[in-house]
Amino acid sequence: MPLKALLIGGAIGVAAFFALLVIFAAILPNLGAKTAWLPYIAIFAGGVSAFVSGYLAAKGAGAKGMLVGIGCAGLELLIIGAVVFIAAKGFALATVFFAATMLCCGGAGGVFGVHGRTQD
């Protein structure tokens, strides 16, 4: 499994996650969103960023898409999990759903990255 593709995909995934959170933080107060929505928004942003990182890493690797995607999502999960653990001083039940969503979406992104359409 190419380490370079994992690192680049993980870095892009973390950047995409925090960019999505910033976008949601700018939009949601204007819509009158409740704070009870925040865990669901974070889970959605994590899934999208894991899919993107798995897709890009597997496209770069060219093989073993699900493994590369799950590896990228796992790396991304470690980084984001460390930040959340430091900021929140612990984990909640939503963290389990967050991790499961990220790993599943990362694997799906990896499969789509390898088996997607290529331009000839």
DSSP per residue over 52-74, as a string?
A: HHHHHHHHHH-S-HHHHHHHHHH
Helix (H, G, I), strand (E, B) or coil at 97: helix
Give 93's contacts (C-beta < 8 A, 6+ positions apart): none
CB contact set of 110 (below 8 Å; sequence gap of 6+):
54, 55, 57, 58, 64, 65, 66, 67, 68, 69, 70, 72
Q: Note the pLDDT of residue 1.
A: 60
Return all residues near 70 (Cβ < 8 A) that are at least 6 apart: 54, 103, 106, 107, 110
Question: What is the residue whose two structure tokens read 């950047």?
Answer: 15
- At residue 118, the pLDDT reads 62
What type of residue sits at position 98? F
- Can you give the pTM of this predicted structure? 0.86
Per-residue pLDDT of the chain (120 residues; tens, 9 = 90+): 678 888 888 899 999 999 998 998 888 888 877 777 888 888 999 999 999 999 988 888 878 888 988 998 998 988 888 888 888 777 777 788 888 999 999 999 999 988 876 654
pLDDT for the residue numbered 102: 92
At 29 the pLDDT is: 82
